[in-house]
Amino acid sequence: MNTRETLKIGANGHLMIGGADCTELAAKYGTPLYVYDKKYIEDISAIYVKTLKEVYGEGRILYASKAFSCKGIYKLAEKCDLGADVVSGGELYTALSAQFPADRLVLHGNNKLDRELTYAVESDIGFIVCDAFDEIVRLGEICKSRNKVQNILLRVNPGVEAHTHHFVQTATPDSKFGFSFMNGDAMKAIRLALQTEGVNLRGLHCHIGSQIFEKESFSLAVRKMTDFYLRVKTELGYEFDTINLGGGFGIYYTDEDRKLSVEGYAEYIRAVGETLKSCVKEKNLKKPFLFLEPGRSIVGEAGITLYTAGSVKKIEGIKNYVAIDGGMFDNPRHALYGSKYTVVVANRMNDKPCEKYSVAGKCCESGDIIAEDCFLPEVHRGDILAVLSTGAYNYSMASNYNRNPVPPAILVENGKSDYLVKPQSYEDIVRNDADCKLI
């Protein structure tokens, strides 16, 4: 288990997070329950902000809010001096409802709807990252009709194959994201954006994938991006003043992953910042304002999910299952990507693991598994199981599958706790069901 800043074992053998006893949290709020450690988020944000300033200078860390989006997290991100990236009208609305400063927001998406572009422009959002030829034109028209000029970046695909799951690789030649460097689309999109009234092209954006550990992949992306900045300068006589190099820094889920201290995460920022600084110097480019967009590494390890163990099923000589009161409706990542997690019995942390269990969700799907082959002490109905590193892409990917309510999320600090997101009730689930007149 990763018993560092976030998690400790209390004198009573219970798992503690942010100074709070997990079994007490489970009793107070019920399970399933997403729990976030405020200090972890503040510490890692502070390290990122400080390292970017020290190593590179002018720039901003944008919290990639798709990792976990709710009003509270935008308020916390703002306090931590972060900007944020949003990828839909819904995320934009959530951020603005939390009074997040619009000029610190960046909008992404491979298919932004006209109404999303209009909403962003009318909200005076900092940047829009365009990802299609027609989007540049549509955005220009929306801006012109409102007498506005919108700062934009273009999402490009520099063709860096990072070693991570196929579904979270985004810079392969066949990716749905970005204008490719390889087939000439990136240069065509730049020419189009420079001719389009209503948009002000400030630079390029890339995001090579997620859960990437090799710093070299990020450095390679920086080299390819700055080579392209040089090409644009030489061929078009135009110099960009901004660059956005995305997120994707890998975090600890199981012992197969690198285990970094909070300070250790600065390595990623340092690698990108130093490579960019030296590339800019070497290629004699204007030093661009640098955006980085980590999501998973800000909230992933800050969060855990608590469940209550239900039926334990032992298929003699084949497999043990422990079923939980949650499942793929609160965490679809194993079903989606085969993601791995560390699971612990939170009320008996000092008991010796003796058997392997698969942790099964309660949905009517064989694929509804949260984690396979977890080495645990003998598990009994009523035990509190904690799945670790669930702060990113869990709540934000939750659904009402099988009409299960999405669990609440709480924030903890120095043993105190409060809701970030309240529990859904059954009434919430039927709230938008209509009395359809055709029935």
Ligand X SMILES: Cc1ncc(COP(=O)(O)O)c(C=O)c1O
Where does this chain bind ligand X (CB under 6 A)?
64, 67, 85, 108, 207, 210, 246-249, 293-297, 392
- Give the active site residue among 80, 364, 374, 436: 364
Tell me the β-bridge partners of 413.
416
Question: What gap in Å lies between CA 245 and CA 211, rounded to an integer?
Answer: 15
323 or 388: CB nearest ligand X = 388
Shortest reach from residue 244's CB to ligand X, in Å: 8
| Amino acid sitting at position 357 | Y
In order, the DSSP letters of 38-50 are HHHHHHHHHHHHH
Question: What gap in Å lies between CA 193 and CA 362, rounded to an integer?
Answer: 50
Residue 8 CB neighbour total at 10 angstroms = 14
Shortest reach from residue 363's CB to ligand X, in Å: 25
User: 98-123 burial, b if ≥16 CB within 10 A, otherwise e?
Assistant: bebeeebbbbbbeebeeebbbbbbeb
Q: Is 352 exposed, middle or buried (0-12, 13-18, 19+ CB in 10 A)?
A: exposed
Shortest reach from residue 150's CB to ligand X, in Å: 18
14 or 296: CB nearest ligand X = 296
How far from chain centre, in Å, is Cα 37? Answer: 16
248 or 273: CB nearest ligand X = 248
- CB 247, CB 297: distance < 8 Å: yes
69 or 305: CB nearest ligand X = 69
233 or 340: CB nearest ligand X = 340
Shortest reach from residue 211's CB to ligand X, in Å: 6
Shortest reach from residue 299's CB to ligand X, in Å: 9
Active site residue 363: no
Question: What gap in Å lies between CA 255 and CA 258, rounded to an integer?
Answer: 7
Active centre residues (catalytic): 364
